[in-house]
Amino acid sequence: MDYSTYVTQIATMAVIPVTDSNYLTIVPQMINYAELRMQRDLDFLSTQTQNTSYNLSTSSNQLSIPTGSFVTLETIQLSSSGSPLLPVSKEYIQNVYPSNAVTGAPVVFAVYGGDASTAGLTSQIITVGPWPDSNYGLTLTGTIRSPTLSATNTTTFISVYLPDMFIMASMIYISAYQRNFGRQADDPAMAQSYEGQYQALLRSALVEENRKKYEAAAWTSYSPSPVATPGR
């Protein structure tokens, strides 16, 4: 499904003229609502990425990461050895590695907080232990946001591979636009109906995403089998 098909299909289902200026004005926010909800619900494998541009130096046990680099930071490893750092609490590092009196190759990390500015949170602070005894290149992995569907970006992973779920999530938003979101609405069941369909599609999509990450039954990529004895 491309952008033009999406806009037309939503307008048809919501019984709105596809050229309606008010409708076209809310299309970007409707897409934003649907895409963000799906990405938070599903944790897409396609949004996982890595970054090798960060380094630790002997002068500090902290690493600053711009908030735009990752939505969720998942792993940190030393690029030279491939050794992963284990996530711990910041209190653990404060107690075990309180100063640079103990140095070495870092083995643990904690999400410490962020740098704030007048524009809002600009970076995330990671603290490591022990304090680095030399400069270390890092490989970070985590999730990012998928590119959004638009008139200039006419197809996305979501629009191509999950168009049914994308439509249902969008129709929940359009129900609020049409004020069909509560018991006093002209069609009070509209939002609930689309929500129910979205939840049904979400259950099957979750299984599919977990299979991709080998997090399905018995940590395999196989579909759950209700008749297998014993279960995997």
pLDDT in tens, 47-66: 999 999 999 999 899 999 98
Decide if pLDDT at 180 tops 60. no
User: Domain residues of the chain, as ranges?
Assistant: 3-44+146-219, 47-143
% of residues, the chain, pLDDT over 70? 89
From residue 34, give the alpha-carbon distance in Å to each of 149, 166, 183, 188.
11, 6, 23, 20
Model confidence over 28-39: pLDDT tens digits? 999 999 999 999
Of residues 114 and 154, the one with the higher pLDDT is 154
pTM, to two decimals: 0.82
Model confidence over 123-163: pLDDT tens digits? 888 999 999 999 999 999 999 999 999 999 999 999 999 99
Q: Which of 35-39, 98-102, 185-189 has the lowest mean pLDDT?
A: 185-189
Q: Distance between CA 105 and CA 201 in Å, rounded?
A: 46
CB–CB of 135/59 below 8 Å?
Answer: no
